Amino acid sequence: MFMIHPRHSADIASIMPSINKNTLSSKKTIEQFKVELQAEGKTAVQWAEEHDFPLWAVYRVMSGMNKCHRGRAHRIAVAMGIKKDPNANKTETQAA
* Per-residue model confidence as pLDDT tens digits over 47-95: 999 999 999 999 999 999 988 999 999 999 999 999 988 887 765 556 5
Q: Does this model's pTM top 0.75? A: no
Count other Cβ atoms within 10 Å, centred on residue 19. Answer: 8
Rounded to 10 deg, the angle between the 71-80 and 55-63 helix axes is 70
16/94 Cα distance (integer angstroms)? 33
Residues in the chain: 96
